[in-house]
A and B are shown apart, each in its own frame.
Chain A
Amino acid sequence: MIALVLALLLALGAGPAAAQTAPRAVDEQQVYAVASELRCVVCQNLSVADSPSEMAGQMRAIVRERLAAGETPAQVRQYFVTRYGDWILLAPPRRGFTLLVWLAPWAAVLVGLIVVSLLVRRWTSRPRPAPAPIDPAMRERIRREMEQEP
């Protein structure tokens, strides 16, 4: 009987209220994906997802909590960028000065290809040197020696 009353109370009143305040279930893959884009602030070249440090653990918990509160991964990233700057992102953003980091390797490859193609063209278009003229006396001597060969 008590169970029935409790169930009724839950269904009528507490149910919707609880549904409104309960945090969303969080996909751990999503937590990992966001955390792996963030730099661990107390490590060298480790992401928040990969670092065993206490600080990284706390940051992962914050990522999880904010996703559970309904924020999008982009909003969670922005939360950290607002506090730490773009430095917190392991991959520099593709805009402003840091766009250079993304473009420079392609520019270097392009320049390399141009240099190589110019060099290849120069080597292949160079005229072949004409064979050196042979002294008629030498030519005669070679002919004679060839004839003497068994």
Chain B
Amino acid sequence: MKRAWRWLLPLAAVPVLALLAYGFRLNPREIPSPLVGRPAAPFALTSFDGAKLDLASLHGRVVVLNFWASWCYPACYEEAPVLERGWRAYRDRGVTVLGVDIQDKDEAGRKFVQDFSLSFPNAPDPGGKVSVDYGIYGVPETFFIDRQGAIRVKHVSALTDQIFKDTVERLLAEPAPPR
């Protein structure tokens, strides 16, 4: 009986230690999005230059939907040129880059677009509805939407040219939806 007790107490600690070891290895900032694989939520926003942005009108194109803010430094400042380069390289191959400026001041958002000479459409999200519809935690976050209109990849933190190219090429290689 005494011998059993001697083993029982350290054994009881094993599952607790295993759970802690598992938990501490996870990155608390990387929360899997339940939206990946699901149809992208429709939205209609008005861009900084007054144009209507409607996701439904982009069906059949690969959409890179980027959430950013002018106060998001340095990540958003690092990826703005990446997005612009990606847009210029792929716009004629069926890719649209859309920027959504969240929790920001209108003036600061416009200045950001101007400073980086962003030529892809950018729109503010005044009530935060599009942000919540896409389950945004912070900025920058980017969604890659396939030609069928489904969210395929959610990328948290600044995009790189390589991630942009690899993901977009993969989605472009997939068959287009029937017209």
Q: Which residues of A contact B (CB under 8 A)?
A: 41-42, 54-55, 58-59, 61-62, 80, 82-85, 87, 111
Contact = CB atoms under 8 A, between A and B. Distances in A.
Interface residues of B, number: 18
B26 interface: no
A84 B136 CA distance: 8
A84 B127 contact: no
Interface of B: 12, 31-35, 103, 127-129, 131-138
A82 B136 CA distance: 12
Contacts of A58: 103, 127-129, 131-132
A61 B137 CA distance: 17
A54 B71 CA distance: 13
A83 B35 contact: yes
Contact of B132 (A54, A83, A87, A111): A83
A87 B34 CA distance: 10
B127 A85 contact: no
B34 A83 contact: yes
Given A41-B138, A62-B129, 19 more contacts: A41-B137, A42-B138, A54-B128, A58-B103, A58-B127, A58-B129, A58-B131, A58-B132, A61-B128, A80-B132, A82-B34, A83-B34, A83-B133, A83-B135, A84-B34, A84-B135, A85-B32, A85-B34, A87-B31
Contacts of B136: 41
Nearest to B135: A83
A126 to B, nearest CB: 13
26 contacts: A41-B137, A41-B138, A42-B137, A54-B103, A55-B103, A55-B128, A58-B103, A58-B127, A58-B128, A58-B129, A58-B131, A59-B128, A59-B132, A61-B127, A61-B128, A80-B132, A83-B34, A83-B35, A83-B132, A83-B133, A83-B134, A83-B135, A84-B31, A85-B33, A85-B135, A111-B12
